[in-house]
Structure 1
Amino acid sequence: MTRCIRRCAALCLVLLLALAVNAVRVTVVEAGSYARDPANRRIAIARYEHPRGGILVGGASVTGSQQTGGQLAYARTYRDGPLYAPVTGFASQTYGTSLLEGTEDGLLSGTSSQLASVPLWNEITRDRQRPGDVHTTIDAAAQKAAYDGLAGRRGAVAAVDPATGRILALVSSPSYDPGLLAGTGPAVTDQWQRLNDDPAQPMLDRAIRQTYPPGSTFKVVTAAAALESGAVADLDAPTDSPDPYRLPGTTWSLTNEGRGCEDASVYDAFRVSCNTVFAKLGADVGLTAMARQAEAFGFNDDGLRVPPAVARSNFDTRMSRDQVALSSIGQFDTTATPLQMAMVAAAVGNGGELMRPYLVDRVTNHGGAVVAHTRPERLHRAVSEATAGQLQELMEAVVSDGTGTNAAIPGAVVGGKTGTAQHGVGNKGTPYAWFISYAKPPGANRAAVAVAVVVEDAEAARADISGGGSAAPIARAVMQSVLAAPPRPYDQPVS
């Protein structure tokens, strides 16, 4: 009898051990696969059991949550959804997340270990912390000025603080209301289908996810390469630049829209935007120096995150001389996001230092305590301080007495560059109008804001007048809104 009891006890012990091992397997080893299993309804129910954390602009939340009355208890809501969609993205119970809603999902949903009061507590208990709030760097007035300026036309605006890299505005037009995708059911499915079928692509974030040929705005990079390489020493000296200019190794000649470009100085050629001068200058500087300079401004970077991923801006590193010439005026295969071209203007306005752009200033927990803070970081020394001063002279001449006078702001020093990007088969597509710029407050040595604007449906008789007429007023409005705002205590340059 005693032997039977011992055997029974041993068997029970083995079974208990087996149960314990299986429990560990299910709750620890296999927990990730269960969590990722789309058939696991409990994950979705737990995810939407409580309101989601807020995305804030200027201390005010532009997102919220509302009760649904269903198993997924709370759905996302958006204040001024189309205005901030290129920043927030969407959080959908049906289609997942995008942009900040996606990259900061752990913080906004309460699953991030950064929110835990005790290290590893969440991983051990599987408890969900109360969600945190994401404070963006966006300036509400600048965002509104950019959005109103585009007025529904296809295009985008990006604005940054040159001294820190803080992104002050990200606008893409036409836009959409992320709240239409927040819940579940046929209405959400219909909206998703409608938005994806729309040829205007309202869900495309043109400010950071779309690249365009930058046209004449790229002449800032070409001028920088010429100055840094020593190919140009005197901005006022005549250049050996014929008009028209036959592209090297071809029978095709490049011309200008305006007159006075033959042998024009770099100063005058930049001010009135002579294609022939800058195409020849790029070909003379050469592929290696041009590519090196473009990359110093941020081109060819596959890893830029703000934290949403930014599309790669391209400058080819294998080209013939005629292709280098075309690339040097922002054509051929050269492409850039609006954020990239804002970075070019920012580096010039910041004395040659290019700061890493970022969209999240800090994250706070439910009690308001800061759990993460972004510190400004230098990305590259784009050009020397001396070269930056010469580029500022060129860009400021564009606004004071060139193609960009529509960007002038009384009392402020404004530098800019107009441009038009030809595109389509045989360059017969409607040109894209560009304007990039920076503005210095009265008495300041460094710029307080840098902006890039692209308008896709601009009608232009002359390329650079289009940039000055269609895009420059939008940039001016954005710069004015930033200059008019009181300084923020955390807007300090990096030493």
Structure 2
Amino acid sequence: MTKYIRRAAGLCAVLLVALLVNAARVQVFLASSYDDNVANRRQAIARYEQPRGDILVDGRTVTGSADTGEQLRYERTYTDGPLYAPVTGFASQLYGTTFLENAGDEILSGTDPMLAPLPLWNDVTRAQNPGGKIVTTLNSAAQRAAYDGLAGRRGAVAAVEPATGKILALVSTPSYDPAELSGTGPAATRAWNRLNDSPSKPMLNRAIRQTYPPGSTFKVVTAAAALDAGVVRDLDAPTESPDPYRLPGTTTSLTNEVDGCENASVRYAFEWSCNSVFAKLGVDIGLGDMTAAAANFGFNDPKLKIPFSVSPSNFDLTLDRAQLALSSIGQFDTRATPLQMAMISSAVAGGGSVKAPYLVERTTTQGGRTIATTGQRTLHQAMSPATAQQMRELMTDVVREGTGRNAAIRGATVGGKTGTAQHGIGNSGVPYAWFISWAQAEDSLEPAVAVAVVVEDAAADRGEISGGGNAGPIAKAVMRAVLGF
């Protein structure tokens, strides 16, 4: 009998060891695969069992969490949702996350190990930390001025601080309320379908994800390239440019909307936006120097993040001379995001360097302990400091006595460039109105803000569209908000 007891005890010991080995295999080696299994609802339940961390603008939270008492307990809420939607994005239990809600998800959800005082202990206990906070670089007054200025029209505004690259405003309209997508009920599904089916595309972030032909605002790049390449040495010298200008190798003539463009100086041509002068300048500069100049301003860069990705702006690398002429005045296949055009204006205001734009000042724990800060860095040297100074003169002239007079601000020096970009088959589409600018208070040592505005406004009368008339006043309101005027 004792023999059978020993055998039974041995079998039990083997089974116990096997059970312990299997438990260790499941809990240690297979834990991550079970965690990531789509059928495992524990992660979703844990994710929403505590309030999500907040996103801050000027020290004020623009997000929150509402206790629903349901299994997925906390739903995301938003203050001034449509105003900040291009920045916050949405955090939806059904449709995931976008923009800062996505880029900062580990901080906001509390899963970032840096939130824990003792990260290794958290790995052992699998404890969940309270969600942290994201402090943005936005200026709430500038954001509001841009949003109100667009007044629901299709368009976008981007504003940056030239010296640092801080994004002060990022607006896209028409917008939407991200709170509509919170929760798991039929209301969220209906909102999702409505927003995606809308012809006005309210969830498209036009400031960073839509590219437009920049039109005459691109002449800033062409003028800077001409000065740096030595093609232009005197802003006031005649340019030997015919009016109209026949595109090289074609029978097509490029005309102007204003008089006085024949053999006009670069100063006059920039001030009054002579297409013929800048098209010829682009050809004289040559494809190599033009593509290099565009790249130095930030074009053709697929890696730009702020921290979420930005659609690359385009300047073609292979062009014949006629295409180069059109590309040099912001037409043909040249396309840019509003943020890219704000970077161009910022480079002029900032002495020629393109600062990396960024939207997050710092991240913190719920209690306010700083986890990480965003360091300032230079992406490119777009032009020499001497050229930047000359470009500031040209842009100042546009606002003082040219096409951008609507953007003038008492008590500040303002530089700008208008643009009216043709598009559509045979240029049949209503032109996009552009205005890029920068502003410096008279008692300040450096410019405080650079702005880019684009207005699509498909409902407008074609004859009434102009960068100075439609986009200029919006840029002026944003600049005044940053300056505190």
Quote the offset at 1:35 in angstroms. Answer: 2.8
- The correspondence of residues 459-470 of structure 1 with structure 2, limited to 5 A, is 459=460, 466-470=466-470
- Counterparts of 1:404-423 in structure 2, within 5 Å, are 404-423=404-423
AA in 2 matched with 1:311 = S
- 2:304 — aligned with what? 304
Q: Secondary structure at the match of 1:437?
A: strand
Structure 1 segment 13-412 matched on structure 2, within 5 A: 13-412=13-412
Q: Distance in 2 between matches of 1:231 and 1:383?
A: 14
* Farther-moved stretch of structure 1 (372-381 vs 337-346): 372-381
Matched to 1:403, the amino acid is T
Contact 2:282 2:290 in 1 (8 A): yes
Task: Tell me, in whole angstroms, the C-alpha distance in 2 between the residues paired with 1:28 and 1:121.
Answer: 16
Partners of 1:224 and 1:41 lie apart in 2 by: 57
Distance 1:25 1:230, change over 3 A: farther
> In 2, Cα distance between the equivalents of 1:30 and 1:365?
31
Equivalent pairs, count: 484
Deviation of 1:5 (Å): 5.9
Secondary structure of 1:301's counterpart equals coil
Cα distance in 2 between the residues matched to 1:313 and 1:148: 26
AA in 2 matched with 1:374: T
Distance 1:407 1:10, change over 3 A: farther
Alignment partners' CA distance in 2, 1:89 and 1:11: 59
The amino acid of 1:345's aligned partner reads: S
Alignment of 1:5-16 (within 5 A): 8=8, 11-16=11-16
Q: Please give the secondary structure, in 2, of the residue aligned with 1:120.
A: helix
Structure 2 length normalisation: TM-score? 0.97
Deviation at 1:127, TM superposition (A): 1.5
Q: What is the CA–CA distance in structure 2 between the aligned matches of 1:144 and 1:305, rounded to whole Å?
A: 23
After superposition, give the CA deviation of every residue in 1:14-72 in whole Å (9 maximum; x if it has no partner).
44443344334433433333333322111111110011000000111000011112101
Q: Tell me the distance in 2 between the aligned counterparts of 1:244 and 1:352.
A: 32
2:414–2:440 Cα contact (<8 Å) kept: yes
CA-CA distance at 1:375 after TM superposition: 1.4
Shift in alpha-carbon separation, 1:238–1:192, aligned structure 2, 3 A: same
Q: Is the Cα–Cα contact under 8 Å of residues 431 and 460 in structure 1 kept in the other structure? A: no
Instruction: Check whether the contact 1:341–1:452 (CA below 8 A) recurs between aligned residues.
Output: yes
Residue 448 of structure 1 aligns to which amino acid in structure 2?
Answer: A
The whole-number CA distance in structure 2 between the counterparts of 1:195 and 1:349 is 38
Contact 2:430–2:462 under 8 Å retained in 1: no
Distance 1:329 1:7, change over 3 A: farther
Contact 2:150–2:474 (CA under 8 A) maintained in structure 1: yes
Instruction: Give the deviation of 1:353 after TM superposition.
Output: 1.4
CA deviation after TM superposition for structure 1 residue 273, in Å: 0.3
Q: Is 2:137–2:361's contact at 8 Å kept on the other side of the alignment?
A: yes
In the alignment, is the contact (CA less than 8 A) between 2:94 and 2:183 conserved in 1?
Answer: yes
SS at match of 1:420: strand
Moved more, 130-139 or 38-47: 38-47
Q: Percent identity?
A: 66
- Work out whether residues 460 and 466 of structure 1, in 8 Å CA contact, stay in contact via their aligned partners in 2: no
Cα distance in 2, alignment partners of residues 297 and 276 from structure 1:
23
SS in 2 for 1:361: strand
Cα offset, 1:4, TM superposition = 5.5
Partners in 2 of 1:19 and 1:198 — Cα distance? 57
TM-score, length-scaled by structure 1? 0.95
Q: Are the equivalent residues in 2 in contact too, given 1:78–1:178 (CA < 8 A)? A: yes
Give the C-alpha shift of residue 3 in structure 1: 6.2
Relative distance call for 1:353 and 1:14 in structure 2 (3 A) is: farther
Residues 2/245 of structure 1: CA separation in 2 closer, same or farther (3 Å cut): farther
Whole-Å Cα distance in 1 between the matches of residues 122 and 343 of structure 2? 39
1:52-107, Cα deviation, whole Å (9 max, x unpaired): 00000011100001111210111000000000100100000111111000110110
- Change in Cα spacing, 1:328 to 1:50, as seen in structure 2 (3 Å) is same
For the aligned residues, what is the CA RMSD? 1.6
In structure 1, how many angstroms separate the alpha carbons of the residues matched to 2:81 and 2:392? 37
Displacement of 1:372:
0.9
Once residues 441 and 18 of structure 1 are traced to their aligned partners in structure 2, the CA distance between those partners, rounded to angstroms, is 76
Residue by residue over 1:278-334, the C-alpha shift from the partner in whole angstroms, topping out at 9 and shown as x without a partner, is 011011111111111111111111011101110111111111111111110111111
Superposed counterparts of 1:420-459, under 5 Å: 420-457=420-457, 459=460
Q: 1:491 aligns to what?
A: none
Distance 1:345 1:24 in 2: 60
